[in-house]
């Protein structure tokens, strides 16, 4: 026989007042966060109502067996229940002096509000009389009973909560009562009867045969049955859709399970010396060192959060008649908890007839600004070390602070307010449809898309617009969710906006302002305000607390951080964010706008003369581009990638052209112009590839059209030579993309070296420009030793490497089947967002082989993964020299790299 596993742990005191707690804060995986911290609070002498915790593992065993109890578990629970009854000197369901308990969920990782809790369990038609007799307070007793029936029906049986809420409202109307507290004991007793009737009418006899008596479902009177059903319901809530979705979003494993805490009730609803509340030991919005929170007198549990009555601020508590002592003690507890857990804590408490009880504590959720301030303050208070402070801030959270903002010195008039749905500020011309936003973007105009509420059909317009403004919908409306996902500023639910999308105008209620299409407005998604006219925007700056934490982070990280940028403004921005170089300058981004004509003329004219003149024009333009880039990054490396995308990306869409020709033909257009366009169409068609991701692109372009790399390398070297002559210190590096064999690299390296030598000769300067390659194809990774012998550096292009390792075409799969794969758990997460272990294995192989082939090889990564904290941790572990990411991710990467180094020091 295997040794029996322990499934239940007790916490709190025994009848003699000794602490008999079996668990501790270290046992979160077994007891869940709530259970482990209840045990910890009991261990440090805080007043915790006694109880016991059923382990998370029991939940998983029960679920995996198809909702069947593991052998012996129910007996073990029964014996802990008997122990609790003995400790309290009361029995659950007792007719004279009943013990009431709460049945509370609590997973290893905090999932606030996702799972279920039942309060006041143990009441029935007999024990209510005992409760009345013991407390001499019939109103309190009936209020507890009606709450129990309500919660049990909703949480355990799944009945609609409105059925009960409506009955309460009806009763209040009947009695002319303004608030719940105005209802009398008799009213509540009547409500209990009504609730039991609602229960019988709505609970399913098929699903709950145990509740059927005399051919009708009745509210369970047996406390043992009440308890078992409640525990099963809490187990079941682990897999409710809400909780499942939350875990998916927060990358929490599905096999952790939830613990169940069965705990003696304490009552905040026993009159005016009783209260219940929630609090933080510091301000979770801005980090100020102050007690923060709310309480309600004569109330229970959810009342505070549910917002049914107006709460009072926690700072007043100790001044309230009858609550002074508990209020003062609570403040002492705040300090004690912070000192013990060495973090800002979130607390739930109840005061029963002047006596304080602690019901929960955990590390408090906080905004980015608060996280920074709390970490720095606690380090300065000596509570935590610098290393801990750096690990206390979520890198992804910094995103909240890293968007353009209104210039604080600007003055402006606010015309409307809404919800601050997605941070950052935007200025643009008002458009009222997605199509108009797209059309404006094509003309190079900045817009703000104004809609009543957005729908999936508006997506293209939302992408095209600088910001999104809606008059309807909350923080989880379509507009808000999508905008946050895209990182676009959004103000939603600005109700003063009366939109007439047909007429393309919006009235601002209460004013005589009318917004028409094309009017310029500004919006600030960080604060939720809308302004008429253009407000000056400023880029966020790394100052204050953010600067302090990032400086500390830099002391610990070993991974370098560079930026992906292709114009001097982005380069400067990334430098101000702390980038130590440019890891990827995508030269094709320099061929947009008016340059598009030149590259098109290069592609479409195959006579050498036109080609040469197009190339000359490109050379002029590129030399200027590189000059600006190297100047902005003076003294730091700038890796320029030679032209990479398939050429058709620079051409018009052949379909659109074909439609146009057909239309003009029907309209009787001139035959000569039609013939010219048909010829153009044939030409464009000749560049269409069945599988362009795997076609003529990357280094293959340079091999087929050597004139292109020669032009680009000449421009790079010339720009560097000019800056050198001006006394600056440019550090260009040349990167050859999409290499799969060393022969490709050797060939293009030869071309580049010869060109650099020519420029040096012509300009009379010495230039040493490293030449390296991207590793973004599996063949390159597995032959990295050979390739490294001809390369000065490697940069892993993990976007393409993910595409080619999986055989996934990113543009095709992300919208289509990856969401389904995630839902069905065929993939644990999107491999284009966080590096997949299989792809990471190729990176590791590439690094190890590469360093064998060339011990001086510098290795980095420049895919989108370079800005993702989880991937950064993997890259740190592999031992890369640096990551490169978009400018706004640079601070995120600095912090994530420091955390990786602190958590997994390199050997
Ligand atoms: P959640 O995880 O959703 O916060 P909890 O288990 O913390 O759920 O319960 C919610 C609220 O119910 C608590 O904040 C507390 O006010 C109340 N509650 C839970 N257990 C007890 C108890 N033993 N005595 C009094 N109130 C309780
Ligand atoms: Mg709670
Ligand atoms: Mg690539």
Q: Residues 400-435: pLDDT tens digits? A: 788 888 887 888 989 999 988 788 899 999 999 999
Q: Which ligand is nearest to the CA of 102?
A: 1
Residue ranges of alpha helices (H) inside 764-797 are: 778-782, 784-788
CB of residue 100 inside a 6 A radius of ligand 1: no
Across residues 826-833, what is the average pLDDT?
90
Please give the sequence-ordered ranges of beta strands (E in DSSP) within 748-803, or none if there are none. 771-775, 793-796
Residue ending a domain, among 343, 363, 383, is 363
Task: Report if residue 534 sits inside a domain.
Answer: yes
**pLDDT (mean) for 124-145:** 94
β-strands 212-213, 216-217 pairing: antiparallel
What is the arithmetic mean of pLDDT over 712-741?
98
Residues 533, 409, single domain; the answer is: yes
pLDDT in tens, 49-84: 999 999 999 999 999 999 999 999 999 999 999 999
Confidence of residue 526 (pLDDT cuts 50, 70, 90): confident
Is 453 in the same domain as 335? no
Cα 800 to averaged position of ligand 3 atoms, centre (Å): 5
Q: In this structure, which ligand is nearest to the CA of 105?
A: 1
Torsion of the alpha carbons at 848, 852, 853 and 855, rounded to the nearest 10: 100
Asked if residue 530 lies in contact with residue 508, where contact means CB atoms within 8 angstroms, the answer is no
In a domain, 463, yes or no: yes
- Centre of ligand 3 to C-alpha 611, Å, is 26
The per-residue pLDDT for range 211-220, each reduced to its tens digit, is: 998 888 999 9
CB of 113 within 6 A of ligand 1: the answer is yes
What is the pLDDT, as a whole number, of residue 442? 86
State the distance from the centre of ligand 3 to the C-alpha of 691, rounded, in angstroms. 15
Question: What CA–CA distance (Å, rounded) separates 218 from 201?
Answer: 9
More confidently predicted of 53 and 302 = 53
Task: State whether 510 and 460 are in the same domain.
Answer: yes
Enter the tokens of residue 327: 């209020």
d(CA 59, CA 69): 9
- Mean pLDDT in the chain? 92
SS3 344: coil
Question: Quick check: 123 pLDDT over 80?
Answer: yes
Identify whether 106 is part of a domain: no
Asked whether residue 13 is assigned to any structural domain, the reply reads: no
Q: Could you tell which of 293, 352, 360 is best to mutate to test the pocket of ligand 1, judged by most ligand atoms within 8 Å of the CB?
A: 360
Q: How far apart are CA 326 and CA 275, in angstroms?
A: 10
Is residue 119 in contact with ligand 1, taking CB distance under 6 Å? yes
Structure tokens at 803: 């595409």
431 and 358 share one domain: no
Atom 19, ligand 1: residue with shortest CA distance: 102
- Poorest-pLDDT segment among 57-61, 237-241, 243-247: 243-247
How many angstroms separate the alpha carbon of residue 363 from the centre of ligand 2? 12
- Relative to the CA of 116, which ligand 1 atom is closest? 3
Cβ-based burial of 511 (10 A; exposed 0-12, middle 13-18, buried ≥19):
exposed
Opening angle at CA 633, ends 632 and 636, nearest 5: 165
Q: Are residues 320 and 411 in the same domain?
A: no
- Please state, in angstroms and rounded to a whole number, the distance separating the CA atoms of residues 302 and 151: 11
In whole angstroms, what is the distance from residue 279 CA to residue 294 CA? Answer: 6
pLDDT of residue 173: 92
* Same domain assignment for residues 335 and 415: no
Ligand 2 mean position, distance from CA 828 (Å): 29
Ligand 2 centroid–CA 109 distance in Å is: 13
> What CATH number does residue 318 fall under?
3.30.470.20
Q: Say which ligand is closest to the CA of 302.
A: 1
Considering every ligand atom shown, identify the ligand nearest to the alpha carbon of residue 864 and give its number: 3
Is 480's C-beta closer than 6 angstroms to any atom of ligand 1? no
Same domain, 420 and 503: yes
Strands, DSSP E only, in 327-396?
Answer: 345-352, 355-363
Q: Measure CA of the first residue to CA of the last residue in the chain; give whole Å.
A: 43
104 lines ligand 1 (CB under 6 A): yes
* Residue in the structure block whose two tokens are 């309190």: 140
Q: Looking at the structure, do residues 421 and 532 belong to the same domain, yes or no? A: yes
Nearest C-alpha neighbor of 731 from the set 622, 616, 585, 893: 585
The structure tokens listed for 168 are 């309460």
| H or E segment and range at residue 560 | strand 560-564
**Mean of pLDDT values over 271-289:** 91
Closest alpha carbon to 837 in 795, 865, 867, 813: 865
Q: Are 818 and 834 in contact (CB under 8 A)?
A: no
Which tens digits make up the pLDDT trace of 666-703?
998 888 989 989 988 998 888 888 888 899 999 999 99
Q: Are 783 and 743 in contact (CB under 8 A)?
A: no
Q: Are strands 414-417 and 467-470 parallel, antiparallel or unpaired?
A: unpaired
Ligand 1 atom 26: residue of nearest CA: 301
Structure tokens at 859: 């290795």
pLDDT of 816 over the 80 cut: no
Convert the pLDDT of each residue in 536-567 to its tens digit. 998 887 879 999 999 999 999 999 999 999 89
State how far the Cα of 297 lies from the Cα of 749, in Å rounded to an integer: 77
Q: How confident is the model at residue 815 (pLDDT cuts 50, 70, 90)?
A: low
The DSSP output letter for 581 is: S
**Which CATH number belongs to the domain containing residue 455 in this structure?**
3.50.30.10
- When mean pLDDT is compared across 124-128, 272-276, 591-595, 824-828, the lowest value belongs to 591-595
Testing ligand 1's pocket by substitution, the residue of 359, 361, 362, 364 carrying the most ligand atoms inside 8 A of its CB is 359
What pLDDT is recorded for position 360? 96
- Taking a C-beta distance cutoff of 8 angstroms, is the pair 818, 849 a contact? no
Comparing 203-217, 219-233, 728-742, the range with the smallest average pLDDT is 203-217
Q: What is the pLDDT of residue 1?
A: 46
Q: Which two tokens mark 191? A: 């409500």
The total number of structural domains that make up the chain: 2
Of the three residues 363, 386, 419, the one that is the final residue of a domain is 363
User: Do 357 and 409 have their domain in common?
Assistant: no
What is the rounded distance in angstroms from the CA atom of residue 202 to the CA atom of residue 112?
Answer: 29
Residue 162 lies in a domain: no
State which residues form the domain around 326: 275-363
Asked if residue 577 belongs to a domain, the reply is: no
Give yes or no for residue 102 CB within 6 A of ligand 1: yes
Judge whether 13 and 40 are in contact, CB under 8 Å.
no
Neighbours of 653 (CB within 10 A): 10
Asked whether residue 433 falls in the same domain as residue 316, the answer is no
Output the pTM of the full model. 0.82
Identify the sign of the CA torsion 896, 898, 903, 906.
positive
pLDDT above 70 as % of the chain:
98
Binding site residues, as ranges? Answer: 586, 641, 776, 797-800
Confidence (pLDDT) at 35: 98
Residues 6 or more apart whose CB falls under 8 angstroms from that of 695 comprise 646, 689
**What percent of the chain stands above pLDDT 90?**
73
733 within some domain = no
pLDDT for 435 equals 92
E strand residue ranges, 64-126: 91-92, 98-99, 101-106, 117-121
The answer to the question of residue 766 being in a domain is no
Residue with tokens 């362009």: 692
What's the whole-number mean pLDDT along residues 258-271?
94
Going by pLDDT thresholds of 50, 70 and 90, the confidence category of residue 582 is: very high
The answer to whether the CB of 747 is under 6 A from ligand 1 is: no
Active site residues: 478, 862
Residue 354 and residue 409 in one domain: no
Domain end marker among 538, 567, 587: 538
- Considering the domain architecture, whether residues 292 and 413 belong to the same structural domain is answered as no
- Please check whether residue 63 is in contact with residue 194, taking contact to mean a CB–CB distance below 8 angstroms: no
């Amino acid at each position: 026989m295997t040794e029996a596993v322990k499934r239940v742990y007790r916490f709190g005191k025994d009848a003699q007042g000794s602490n008999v707690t079996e668990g501790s804060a270290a046992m979160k995986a077994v007891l869940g966060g709530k259970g482990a911290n209840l045990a910890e609070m009991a261990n440090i002498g805080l007043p915790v109502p006694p109880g016991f915790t059923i382990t998370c593992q029991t939940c998983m065993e029960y679920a995996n067996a198809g909702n069947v109890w593991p052998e012996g578990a129910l007996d073990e629970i029964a014996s802990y229940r008997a122990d609790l009854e003995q400790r309290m000197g009361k029995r659950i369901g007792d007719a004279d002096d009943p013990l009431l308990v709460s049945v509370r969920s609590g997973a290893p990782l905090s999932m606030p509000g996702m799972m279920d809790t039942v309060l006041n369990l143990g009441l029935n038609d007999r024990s209510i009389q005992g409760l009345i007799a013991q407390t001499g307070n019939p109103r309190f007793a009936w209020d507890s009973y009606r709450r129990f029936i309500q919660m049990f029906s909703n949480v355990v049986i799944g009945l609609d909560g409105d059925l009960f809420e409506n009955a309460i409202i009806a009763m209040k109307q009947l009695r002319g009562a303004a608030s719940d507290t105005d209802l009398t004991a008799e009213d509540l007793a009547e409500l209990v009867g009504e609730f039991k009737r609602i229960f019988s009418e709505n609970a399913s006899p098929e699903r709950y045969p145990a509740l059927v008596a005399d051919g009708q479902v009745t509210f369970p009177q047996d406390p043992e049955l009440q308890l078992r059903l409640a525990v099963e319901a809490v187990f079941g809530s682990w897999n409710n859709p809400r909780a499942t979705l939350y875990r998916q979003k927060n990358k929490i494993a599905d096999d952790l399970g939830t613990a169940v805490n069965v705990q003696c009730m304490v009552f905040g609803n026993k009159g005016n010396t009783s209260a219940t509340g929630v609090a933080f030991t510091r301000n979770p919005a801005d980090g100020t060192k102050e007690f923060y929170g709310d309480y309600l007198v004569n109330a229970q549990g959810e009342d505070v959060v549910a917002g049914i009555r107006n709460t009072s601020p926690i700072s007043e508590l100790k001044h309230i008649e009858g609550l002074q002592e508990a209020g003062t003690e609570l403040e002492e507890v705040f300090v004690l908890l912070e000192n013990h857990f060495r973090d800002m804590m979130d607390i739930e408490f109840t005061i029963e007839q002047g006596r304080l009880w602690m019901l929960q504590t955990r590390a408090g959720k906080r905004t980015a600004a608060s996280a920074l301030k709390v970490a720095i303050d606690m380090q300065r208070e000596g509570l935590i070390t610098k290393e801990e402070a750096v690990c206390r801030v979520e890198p992804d959270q910094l995103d909240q602070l890293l968007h353009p903002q209104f210039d604080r010195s600007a003055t402006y008039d606010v015309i409307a307010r809404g919800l601050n749905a997605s941070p950052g500020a935007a200025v643009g011309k008002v458009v009222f449809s997605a199509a108009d936003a797209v059309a404006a973007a094509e003309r190079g105009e900045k817009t703000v898309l104004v809609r009543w509420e957005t729908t999936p059909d508006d997506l293209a317009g939302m992408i095209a617009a600088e910001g999104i403004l809606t008059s309807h919908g909350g923080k989880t409306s379509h507009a808000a969710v999508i905008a946050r996902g895209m990182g676009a500023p959004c103000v939603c639910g600005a109700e003063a906006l009366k939109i007439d999308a047909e007429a393309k105008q919006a009235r601002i209620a209460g004013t005589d302002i009318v917004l028409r299409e094309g009017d310029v407005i500004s919006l600030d998604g960080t604060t939720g305000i809308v302004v008429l006219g253009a407000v000056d925007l400023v880029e966020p700056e790394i100052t204050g607390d953010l600067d302090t934490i990032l400086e500390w982070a830099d002391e610990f990280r070993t991974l370098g951080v560079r930026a992906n940028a292709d114009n001097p403004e982005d380069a400067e921005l990334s430098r101000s964010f702390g980038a130590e170089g440019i890891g990827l300058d995508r030269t094709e981004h320099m061929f947009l706008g008016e340059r598009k004509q030149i590259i098109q003329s290069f592609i479409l004219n195959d006579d050498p003369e036109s080609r040469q003149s197009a190339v000359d024009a490109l050379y002029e333009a590129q030399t200027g581009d590189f000059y600006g880039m190297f100047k902005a990054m003076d003294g730091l490396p700038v890796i320029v990638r030679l032209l990479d995308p398939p050429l058709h990306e620079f051409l018009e869409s052949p379909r659109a052209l074909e439609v146009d020709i057909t239309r003009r033909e029907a309209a009787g257009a001139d035959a000569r112009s039609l013939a010219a366009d048909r010829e153009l169409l044939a030409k464009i068609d000749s560049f269409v590839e069945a599988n362009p991701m795997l076609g003529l692109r990357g280094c293959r372009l340079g091999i087929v059209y050597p004139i292109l790399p020669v032009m680009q390398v000449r421009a790079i070297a010339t720009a560097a030579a000019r800056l050198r002559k001006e006394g600056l210190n440019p550090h260009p590096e040349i990167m050859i993309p999409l290499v799969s064999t060393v022969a490709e690299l050797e060939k293009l390296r030869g071309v580049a070296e010869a060109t650099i030598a020519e420029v040096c000769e012509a300009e009379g300067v010495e230039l040493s420009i490293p030449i390296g390659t991207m590793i973004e194809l599996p063949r390159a990774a597995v032959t990295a030793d050979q390739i490294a012998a001809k390369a000065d550096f490697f940069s892993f292009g993990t976007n393409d490497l993910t595409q080619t390792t999986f055989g996934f075409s990113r543009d095709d799969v992300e919208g289509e089947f990856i969401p389904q794969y995630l839902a069905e758990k065929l993939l644990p997460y999107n491999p284009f967002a966080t590096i997949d272990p299989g792809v990471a294995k190729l990176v590791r192989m590439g690094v190890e082989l590469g360093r064998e082939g060339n011990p001086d090889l510098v290795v980095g990564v420049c895919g989108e993964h370079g800005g993702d904290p989880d991937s950064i941790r993997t890259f740190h572990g592999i031992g890369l020299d640096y990551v490169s990411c978009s400018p706004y991710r640079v601070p995120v990467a600095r912090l994530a790299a420091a955390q990786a180094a602190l958590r997994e020091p390199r050997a």
